[in-house]
Structure formats: C-alpha cells, structure tokens
A = this chain, B = another copy of it.
Amino acid sequence: MRYRKIPDETVRRLPVYLRGALHLSQGGVERTSSRKLADLIGVEPWQIRKDFSYFGDFGTRGVGYDLRSLISRINRILRLNVGHKAALVGVGNLGSALLSFPGFRMYGLEIAAAFDVDKRKVGRRKVGVLVEDITSLRYLNRRGIHLGIIAVPENASQEVAEALVNAGVKGILNFAPRYIVVSRGVKLITIDIAMDLACLPYYVPAGRAVERTGFLTRP
C-alpha cells in the first residue's frame, strides 16, 4: 500500500493512458510496453514509466504491462470503478454538444442533469436529459451528483461555479475561457479550447516573418 501525493499533471494523463490501454485491449492485445503505449498516445515512454511509478510497480521489465490490470488499476485510482454523475449548466451549442458526446460513457461518467436560465429550454428534453431551471441546482447533493460542467457564457461562469459548489459539487469542468475562483476542497479544471489550437502554429512550417527572428527552429 502506498500513500503518495500524485502530481496534477500525472492525474491529467491517467485518462490518456486508460484510453490507450482500453483501445489496445479492445483490439485483443494483452500486454504492452511503455514504448508501444507511447507511440499510440503521443506521450514519451519515460513519462509513462515515471507516472506509473507513483502507483507502485505496474509492469515487469522486458515483459511490459498487463493491460487488464493496468486498466483496472487506473480505474481504481481515478475512482472510475464506481459511476459518477455530472450536472451540466448551460444548454447552448456547447452544452448540447456535450450532452450528445459519446465519450463520457467509456469512463463511467453520465450527465444526469442539465440546467439553463432560458425559459424556452426549461422543461424540454435534450438527448434524453430534462433541462431544468437553474434555480433547481441546489438539490444536486441529494441526487448523488458531485461533478459539474460549466458551459455558460464567460460573464455568468463565476456565479454558476459558486452555485455548483453550494449544491455540494466537488469537481468542476469549466469551459468558460476565464479564471474562476472556487473554495478549497473543490477541484476546478478549465478547458480553454483556444489554448489547444494556439499550440498548433508552432508545428506549422514558419513563414518568412517568423523565420527572420531566428529565435527558435524545430529539430
């Protein structure tokens, strides 16, 4: 048994490893090496070995990792071995996309409730989920919902985060491109889609304007 602090960066990569392991396992593979896993998911092999070292010995040198045990261990660490319900706030374009997103189920996650301020949306079903008035948010706790997803406009995001926390939510995924402050003990992850797009120009061959700086080139 180990009780070590796992860095956030490592926790963030665990679902990536899980997805890769599931993919290989579904393809009939039983064991894999850090190198093969690395090739599949685009993380360096040493990083994988280092991350796995936080949880004791996953693999055997020269034999690799048993995928079934890897999957069950990551599931247990991330507490995905029990199902989790999330509440979605904001049923606009992004919220609707999230509701119909097929990927959550792979991790035992379910968007079990949806909320909006728009009276025209309230009372209707979106992808099977009833859209409720935002004022019903406070009863999340007794409904067994401990995760929240914020898909509202930027200027409403802080207020919604506070309402979610007051309703007993302990983990929040925020899509509003803005810094949100929540009380200690609540984990908030902000997804800024633009930030991921902003990485890409680095990999695009430079135009003349950039080459002239001479500052940095790719290997």
Contacts and interface: CB of A to CB of B under 8 A. Distances in A.
Nearest to A74: B198
Given A8-B42, A216-B55, A84 B204 contact: yes
B103 A219 contact: no
Contacts of A19: 192, 195
Contacts of A210: 76, 79, 81-82
Interface in A52-98: 55, 73, 76-82, 84, 86, 92-94, 96-98
12 contacts: A9-B44, A76-B210, A77-B216, A78-B199, A78-B201, A78-B202, A79-B201, A102-B177, A104-B194, A147-B197, A170-B204, A187-B203
Interface of A: 1-9, 11-12, 14-16, 18-19, 23, 40, 42, 44, 47, 55, 73, 76-82, 84, 86, 92-94, 96-98, 100-104, 106-107, 109, 146-147, 149, 154, 170-173, 177, 179, 187, 189, 191-207, 209-210, 213-219
